[in-house]
Structure 1
Amino acid sequence: MPGLAAWLQIQVALALSRGVVASPLVADSLQRSLQLQDDSQRADPQSRKLHGRFLHITDFHPDELYKPHTSTEDGIACHRGHGMAGTFGAEKTDCDSPFALVDATLKWVEDNVKDTIDFVVWTGDTARHDSDEEHPRTDKTVLDSNREVANKMIKTFSSDNGKLDIPIIPTFGNNDFLPHNIMYAGPNRWLTAYADIWGRFIPEEQRHAFEFGGWFHVDVIPGKLTVFSLNTMYFFDRNAAVDGCAQPSEPGFKHMEWLRVQLELMRQTGVKAILIGHVPPARTESKKNWDETCWQRYTLWLQKYRDVVVASLYGHMNIDHFLLGDTKEIDLSMGASQAGVSGRPMDKDSDFSAQSKEDYLQELRDSWADLPHSAIQALDDMAKTEKRDEMRAEKKHKKHKKKDKLDKVGGKYAERYQLSLVSPSVVPNYFPTLRVFEYNVTGLEGATLWEDKSHSLHGASPTGVGVIHNDDEKHDHNDDTYDDDDDDDEHSSLELRSIQTGKHRKKKHKGKKGKKGKHAPKDPNLVIPADPPQDALPGPAYYPQQFTLTGYTQYFANLTHINNDHAGAHADADAGAGADTDTDAGAQNNNDVGGSKWRDGNHGGKKPGHSPARPRRFEFEVEYSTFADKPFQLDDLTVRNYLRLAYHMGKQRGNTVGELIKDGDEEGGGGFGFGFEDGGGEVEGDEVDVEKKKKKEKKEKHKKHGKHGKKKKKTHGKNMAWLRWLSYAFVRTVSMEDLEEL
């Protein structure tokens, strides 16, 4: 009866994802949409073509109170006073973005990117921070900010007839509601508000799922590729209103079940999936973003559906980096009994300070240093062999030896690991950024393209629907006015029954032992998905094929140059980010260590070079590209390539001196030329967890060797791969000297 079981599975999943059609209210809405639709205004989707590119943009943080040439000091936040706040933003500070930056960014995208991409992923935080006690955030200001940017996005990506040319997929950030970080289970008034604000982006058949929990998906290439918008607020460790993903009563559990069911449906119908969210699943000693039970389920889902998931994309952190999730850390005994045990104590202040970013990145490096050397060496050898087309010439016994090594990382495609790509922000904590991904569209020449089927050609309503009135404050954001018990029960019941073979699979894992050798306790709420079919190729995240991400180009706007406020008073503003000697990231970090978490850009007492402001033309430029930058050596963005990159950055020592460094590139602090091939052999004790005190002592000792500070530095023992990656992490705003101290 396996055929019947599979059929039942698909039918239940379809009912879950499209059950909304049975609702009379929605059915009437759809009927009206069909009646009102003017065929003469319908854009022909086939007049477009697939480009194999999409835009990732995140963390606008627009601030309606921002004023140019105001103070960047803590508590003032570029709202008043006199100082160096630029026309398009106060770069390298904790001030939020002026709407001038939002407008300029979207205008640049419209002129340079819009016509060459297939869709947009927009990963949240579209409201200002609560940084000014004189002007606290309100429900209205948060929603108005999101509404305004949503309407600007619609205008940017629409044709003259008002129809969206390409799909836009948004998601929540932890600053997109009040209180900060706290979102209660749905349905709630915030979800109702955003259902209106994002009405043009959420497919009609997905509105029920969205209003229930803030999650939905969009078929960006119908029948081929779907983008899932995850509501990571229900996974977020700092959301005190919820309690993980293990208990059926929790919205995180329901979200994970919805995702499991949908991924199973994708597998059954041959569709691939990109997952997007705001808060990434970071999991280091100092930074555990997700509740552990949510991380466990998510990692298990991605392991089981690795034949379906193309990529996982996030924002929130403001720094450019990637994460490697290790499926060896999956613990099936982590069930409902562990719910409520947070990964770390709740801090009153959840800001991710410069000092904590240093610690976090160092912890990532430490974990990469622990990757099995023999397996990475085998991957390196295999990569060389594949490039030379000599795989068939290898001897049989050599293949077996290599296979044993590769088992440590999950085989030749490193399927033990999962990759999450975290994009830096538009808000200029460093410099504003955006990212354009490219993906493999081979064989999709005749694919059906997405079409805007909205019955309304307008943006979000300026008033009325979606506005949370002040009268609602008496509920203290608890949303208890909703009587959703019946809906909860129905939703949970349907999803728990969705996989007909669930009991059989649990029996299959019954004898599996936990980390301590004990049988994993039965969790009646955990349905373990099946592995990919044995004859299936590794998924697009592991093996190059249709939809595999082939690379990306990272853009940044050098606001020091564009704002043009340093002319005549400081370093040449025409110099690039790396040559901006006015930036002293080390001093900023020292301030953080001293207790101040606010970054003011070290502008205290400085005055703009021009009054009134005389900004230059706004534009983004290429910061780096995975296609062109030799350091990355990424033929594509598959997991095994990132695993190799991570390992080589985790080494304590770098390559030979001749390979390490080229002459400095004054335009961008570049000149970190390096390669992996000659970095060669195994580094004994790949540990890089050296205390900062020891680093400083070593540096001070080096300084005592004479007055050679102005001479070209030797690079013995430096890992230039790591240093260059750090430079990109901070969007090239930190000097080489300061990077060496991290």
Structure 2
Amino acid sequence: MFSRSGHRRGTMRRASNSARCSSVLPGLSRVTDPYYRKSALLSRPLQKPCLRSQASSQPLHSKAPRTRRSWLHSPARLLLFCCCMLNCLWCISPSCTAAAQPDIEYDPEGSRLVGRFLHITDIHPDEHYITDGSIASSCHRNSTDDDDDDLKLLRPGRTDGGVGGFFGAPYSICDSPFSLANATFDWIDKNLMGNIDFVVWTGDNARHDSDNMHPRTQKEIEDLNRIIANKFLETFAPDKDDPFQQRIPIVPSIGNNDVYPHNIMEAGPNRILQHFSEIWADFIPESQYHTFQHGGYYTSEVVPGKITVVSLNTLFFFNQNAAVNGCDDDDEPGTEQMDWLEVELESLRKRKMTAYLTGHVPPARKSYSPSCFIRYTDIALRFQDVIVGHLYGHANIDHFFILSQSTLTGSGIDDEATDNKDLKKTAFTAGQSLSSSAQMSLEYKYGESEESAVPLSPLSRRKQAWENDSQEDEFDPFHQLGLNSYLLELWSQYEDIPKHAKYNDYAMVFVAPSVIPTYNPALRIYAYQLAIEKDRPIEKIEEQSEVLEIQDEEESSSAEDDVDDDISLDGEKKKKKKRKHKKPKKPKKPKRPANPPAAPPITFGFPLSYTQYWVNLTQANLEPHKQPEFQVEYRTREDYGMKDLSVPHWLSLARKIVTDNRMRDQYLAWMVVLTGTENDHF
């Protein structure tokens, strides 16, 4: 395989003269061509002939005019020479070249790419998990007498009335047993080695703090992160028989449960980042080491000169991190990270490279601080010619959501939201959960300015967070507000897509389901564009001036919808007039260029599709002595009918989900990884 950025390059070209002349080239016994890997004929060592000048006992500078003349005057040899010359002339012709060399791109290392990568997230191993442990105790005990039921309502899933199986408890609050984590890596080793080019790993490698009888400790969290890191190193270890092969790039990100207390991280350098810089030393490029120690973010050039994966430290954007203040001030770590991200993307733009932005907590309005959410959205839209994907975890549910230009021009950040923020801050101060009415209010109005919060110093909030680390995700919108409430806004996004939408006004965020059986364990494998066929022009999705028309299946209602849109637009104008006199405090909205760069064409690195894999955990628990197999759950190309993963196809799918009942039901079933629990939320 190919080496990651920062490692020595061209090792094949640096072979010594003696190695070149050996009868068998070392390290080439393993065939790397994905199309012929299973061929028995190509499994033999590749032979390389020696140069006659090296094998001959005669010095290289010796002259032998008689020998050369007699060779040329030999009729048989002269005929053979002419045939060879004709053959060479034929082989350098365009027709022969096209037939002899497959139209496949190679990375600069000389290794063949396969055009796929793995996204794995939220493993959450739990050393306290016991088979047949009660779900009410987080699968930690057989008895439920001393369980704290208050903690069990903070995450989706069953809280009582069952026990955990050998490989885990599907649709429950229990974390992953080590048997599931080991089975996952075993399946990856058996099925994916040699079939992927790099790995995106988006964090949460420690258990939740959901059991008061077994509170988490900093040492336990560090140990679990080290165990999972070593598991990646072991699974993706280079072939010992191939001295030229190196480990494929693995790009990890820090999760909100990878730190103690959960959600909390102060500006770096700090002890947490020092710990991760040690256990992730094999994953972080040397050139990025100091950047990571400072902020927990970095870049990895997974395909040198072509594709970069940007690993973000989303804890500095997360609104539950009481140790920082979002992206409001220039000296905030969140602001510094955003500034760094812009510089990196500008550099990638000049180099004409593509980038995937990855991290743990997705850039949702209810999860990021308002200032960070707006800044991220602005960057996502301004760098559409560079960014080809936003890959995140954390939520456990399989879905996608939309970042749009409307967030920057009319984000709904007004003083009405201040009351909701105050309500949330007051509840946080009192250590109480929000009422259902407050949750619904926050659902639609969260996006307020942090400047208008009730007085509560960062030091006080940080101290309270340390004292209450066991209050698992109390105000995490993915958990405390509930899946029902979250999906209300998601559905609203899908429904609000206009019939005529400019492609450059939107960016898509892909949220992958987790290994932890909050529903069923899952993995995702993306396929990306590797080579452009020479007989087909590069497909341009859309220019900035062009307009994408999304057809609604119910064309009869188009006139009514247009009228509604006009009414809504008039209403917005009236609201804006009223707001001019109130002058509410709100985060600064970055100015977007009038003509931002056009979105990228379908070119090298662009995501074409993904295949979602899952484990039927109920069935796997019936056969505890048999390794569970990840099966294909769905494919975007076949099951969604998406030609590629460009924004127009996602917008079309979103419209179809809210207008086609059959597609909606299927989307919801896949969202909860075929646990059959979609009706519990809708």
- Identify whether the pair has TM-score above 0.5, normalized to the shorter chain: yes
1:628 aligns with 2:638: yes
* Cα distance between partner residues in 1 of 2:302 and 2:311: 12
Letter of the structure 1 residue corresponding to residue 506 of structure 2: Y
Equivalent positions of 1:571-720 (< 5 A) are 614-629=624-639, 632-651=640-659, 654=660, 719-720=661-662
Compute the displacement of 1:370 (Å).
2.0
> Which AA in structure 1 matches 2:663?
A
Structure 1, residues 509-532: CA drift from partner, whole Å, max 9, x if none? Answer: xxxxx9659799999999867677
Among candidates 366, 370, 376, match of residue 496 of structure 2: 370
Matched residue, 1:122: 201
Identify if the C-alpha distance between structure 1 residues 125 and 531 changes in structure 2 by more than 3 Å, giving closer, same or farther: farther
Match among 344, 348, 357 for residue 266 of structure 1: 348
Unaligned runs of 5+ in 1: 1-17, 22-29, 376-408, 446-513, 566-613, 655-718
Q: Is the 8 A contact 1:52 1:118 kept in 2?
A: yes
Q: 1:248 touches 1:525 (CA, 8 Å); kept in 2?
A: no
> Given the superposition, is the C-alpha separation of residues 443 and 221 from structure 1 closer, same or farther in structure 2, using an over 3 Å criterion?
farther
User: 2:226 is matched with which residue?
Assistant: 147
What SS does the aligned partner of 2:652 have? helix
Distance change >3 Å, CA 238–CA 533, structure 1 → 2: closer
In 1, Cα distance between equivalents of 2:112 and 2:279:
28
**Equivalent residue for 2:430?**
none
Post-superposition Cα deviations, 1:420-440, rounded to whole Å, max 9, x if no partner, equal 000000000110000000010
Q: What residue in structure 1 maps to residue 44 of structure 2?
A: none
How do 1:277-296 residues align onto structure 2 when only pairs under 5 Å count? 277-283=359-365, 288-296=366-374
1:66 corresponds to which residue?
Answer: 129
After superposition, residues 8-27 of structure 1 pair within 5 angstroms as none
- Distance change (3 Å), C-alpha of 1:78 and 1:64: same
Contact 2:355 2:386 survives alignment (8 Å): yes
Deviations 1:232-284 (A, max 9, x none): 0000011111111121110000000000111111111111110001000123x
Pick the aligned partner of 2:390 from 290, 295, 312: 312
Q: Quick one: distance in 1 between partners of 2:213 and 2:662?
A: 46
1:547 aligns with 2:489: no
Tell me which residue corresponds to 2:113.
50
Q: Which amino acid aligns with 1:175?
A: N
> 1:593-620, CA deviations, whole angstroms, 9 ceiling, x for partnerless residues?
xxxxxxxxxxxxxxxxxxxxx4433111
Secondary structure of 2:638's match?
coil
State the structure with more CA Rg: 2
Which of 220, 229, 234 matches 2:311? 229
Assess if the C-alpha contact under 8 Å between 1:245 and 1:339 holds in 2.
Answer: no
Cα shift at 1:43: 7.9
Q: Distance in 2 between matches of 1:85 and 1:523?
A: 47
* Aligned mates of 1:369, 1:300 — CA distance in 2: 22
1:545, 1:531 → 2: CA distance? 25
Equivalent residue runs for 1:249-648 within 5 Å: 249-283=331-365, 288-331=366-409, 338-341=449-452, 349-350=474-475, 352-353=478-479, 356-372=482-498, 374-375=499-500, 409-410=501-502, 414-443=503-532, 537-539=598-600, 543-564=601-622, 614-629=624-639, 632-648=640-656
Deviates more, 1:257-266 or 1:349-358: 349-358
Could you tell me which residue of structure 2 aligns to residue 683 of structure 1?
none
* C-alpha contact (below 8 Å) 1:62/1:145 kept by paired residues: yes
Distance in 1 separating the partners of 2:589 and 2:298 = 22
Say which SS state the counterpart of residue 115 (structure 1) adopts.
Answer: coil
SS in 2 for 1:552: strand
User: Is residue 724 from structure 1 mapped to residue 674 from structure 2 by the alignment?
Assistant: no
In the alignment of these two chains, the number of paired residues is 475
Match of residue 595 from structure 1: none
SS in 1 for 2:237: coil
Mapped partners of 1:444, 1:49: distance in 2: 17
Q: Give the Cα separation in 2 of the matches to 1:53 and 1:243.
A: 38
Q: Which residue of 1 aligns with 2:79?
A: none
1:101-112 maps to which residues of 2 (within 5 A)? Answer: 101-112=180-191
Aligned residue identity for 1:307: D
Paired AA for residue 399 in structure 2: H
Task: Give, in whole Å, the separation in 2 of the partners of 1:87 and 1:137.
Answer: 23
Structure 1 residues 154, 341: CA separation in 2 closer, same or farther (over 3 Å shift)?
Answer: farther
Higher relative contact order (CA 8 A, sep 6+): 1
Q: Is the 8 A contact 1:246 1:253 kept in 2?
A: yes
Q: Is the 8 A contact 2:401 2:493 kept in 1?
A: no
CA contact (8 A) 1:564 1:616 kept: no
- Say whether residues 1:78 and 2:115 are aligned partners: no
Question: Shift of residue 353 of structure 1?
Answer: 3.8
CA shift in 2, pair 1:521/1:67, >3 Å: closer
Q: Give the match's secondary structure for 2:526.
A: strand
| Contact kept in structure 2, 1:157 and 1:164, CA below 8 Å | no
SS in 2 for 1:324: strand
Provide the rounded CA distance (Å) in 2 between the counterparts of 1:182 and 1:190.
10
Are the structure 2 counterparts of residues 143 and 308 from structure 1 closer, same or farther at C-alpha, using a change threshold of 3 Å? same
Tell me how far apart the structure 1 counterparts of residues 594 and 246 of structure 2 sit (CA, whole Å).
38
- Matching residue's letter, 2:218: D
Candidates 85, 90, 94, aligned match of 2:169 = 90
Query: What is the Cα deviation at residue 169 of structure 1?
Result: 0.2
Per the TM alignment, residue 158 of structure 1 is displaced from its structure 2 partner at its CA by: 1.4
- State the 1:292 CA deviation: 0.7
Partner of 1:171: 253
Letter in 2 for 1:50: L
Residue 186, structure 1, aligned to residue 275, structure 2: no
The alpha-carbon distance between structure 1 residues 524 and 93, as it changes in their structure 2 partners (threshold 3 A), is closer
Q: Deviations over 1:342-371 (max 9, x none)?
A: 79x999713544971122113211222122
Cα shift at 1:319 = 0.2
Task: Summarize the Cα distance change of 1:204–1:365 in structure 2 as closer, same or farther, 3 Å threshold.
Answer: same
Compute the displacement of 1:131 (Å).
Answer: 1.6
Alpha-carbon contact 1:296-1:331 (below 8 Å) kept: no
AA matched with 1:617: Q
Percentage of matched positions with identical amino acids: 42
In structure 2, the CA distance between the partners of 1:212 and 1:88, relative to structure 1 (3 Å rule), is same
Distance 1:123 1:362, change over 3 A: same
- Per the alignment, residue 212 of structure 1 pairs with 294
| Secondary structure at the counterpart of residue 135 of structure 2 | coil
Q: Alpha-carbon deviation of 1:546? A: 2.5
CA offset at residue 289 of structure 1? Answer: 0.5
**1:199–1:523 CA distance, 2 compared to 1 (3 A):** same
Report the AA paired with residue 357 of structure 1: L
The change in CA–CA distance for 1:298 and 1:159 in structure 2 (over 3 A counts) is same
Q: Deviations over 1:352-407 (max 9, x none)?
A: 449711221132112221222x32xxxxxxxxxxxxxxxxxxxxxxxxxxxxxxxx
Instruction: Give the distance between the partners of 1:533 and 1:732, measured in 2 at CA.
Output: 41
